[in-house]
Amino acid sequence: MFSHHDSGRTSPCGLFAGMTAQQYLILDFVCSDTLYDVEKEKQCLINPQQYVELLSKSKLSGSEKAYTSIEWKRATGYTTEEIKKARSQNDFWKTKQRKSADKYRTKRLAENNFLSGASAKHLWTPKELHKFYLLNEKGNTDVELARVFRTSVPAVYSVRRKFSMAKSLLIQMKRKPNSSNLVDMASGSEAKLRLTLRELKKPKKKSN
């Protein structure tokens, strides 16, 4: 193991500067108080935010980063939850997480697109909308509904939004929502439903 007096040794405050993964892993800068003054060491300790920032800029592989984090937590006493919180506030990790989520979403939509053709568009009949309403009330998932109606998940989202707006409209109009009037309203365009709902929610002008 390196001692803190080895010549050519990178300062513990530098962490990854000019170091290999193995060199970092054998550093004892946080757990070997018999070798040097503890108070000096405290000046070199880094918090989770600083650690995540340094790790994001390092050239370590994914497995090396994982192992390094295990060693760092063991040595410092910081927890996995504290590292996760620091990552959620770090620009590099936020961008990485967003890209990963976008990739997953794109893959999921592609895998669950049941349209017969690339440019096909599902035309919803009143009978299908009624069936959609019943299945949706039973708690069928997006994918299940897309599969039943041979359509895409975004199309399912759109129909769900229309039913939700139709229900809000009926309540605004002091009418009790039921399968019949909901299907009737959901047969219209989403844009028209949204506009009508917006108009109804506007405060009424007081008459003189």
User: What does the pLDDT look like over 126-177, one tens digit per residue?
Assistant: 999 999 999 999 999 999 999 999 888 888 999 999 999 999 999 999 999 9
Answer for the pair 133, 182: CB distance below 8 angstroms, yes or no. yes
**For residues 33-60, average pLDDT:** 62
Of the residues 56, 71, 99, the one at which a domain ends: 99
Proportion of the chain above pLDDT 70, given as a percent: 71
Is 206 domain-assigned?
A: no
Of the residues 68, 99, 130, the one at which a domain ends: 99
Q: Are residues 145 and 77 in the same domain?
A: no
> Alpha-carbon distance 17 to 70, whole Å?
20
Q: Are residues 81 and 116 in the same domain?
A: no
Answer for the pair 49, 89: CB distance below 8 angstroms, yes or no. yes
> Alpha-carbon distance 187 to 133, whole Å?
12
Q: Are residues 83 and 139 in the same domain?
A: no
Q: What is the pLDDT of residue 25?
A: 43
> Alpha-carbon distance 4 to 36, whole Å?
7
Across 26-40, 53-67, 87-101, the highest mean pLDDT is recorded for 87-101
> Residue 52: which of 68, 63, 40 has the closest Cα?
68
Answer for the pair 153, 108: CB distance below 8 angstroms, yes or no. yes
The SS3 of residue 189 is coil
Of the residues 99, 126, 160, the one at which a domain ends: 99
Is 6 domain-assigned?
A: no
Give the total number of structural domains in the chain: 2
Q: Answer with the residue of higher pLDDT: 206 or 88.
A: 88
Spell out the long-range contacts of 189-195 with Cβ–Cβ below 8 A and sequence spacing 24 or more. 190/158, 190/161, 190/162, 190/165, 193/162, 193/165, 193/166, 193/169, 194/165
**Residue ranges making up the domain that contains 28:** 21-99
The SS3 of residue 122 is coil
Instruction: Give the count of beta carbons closer than 10 Å to the beta carbon of residue 32.
Output: 16
Q: Is the pLDDT of residue 18 over 80?
A: no
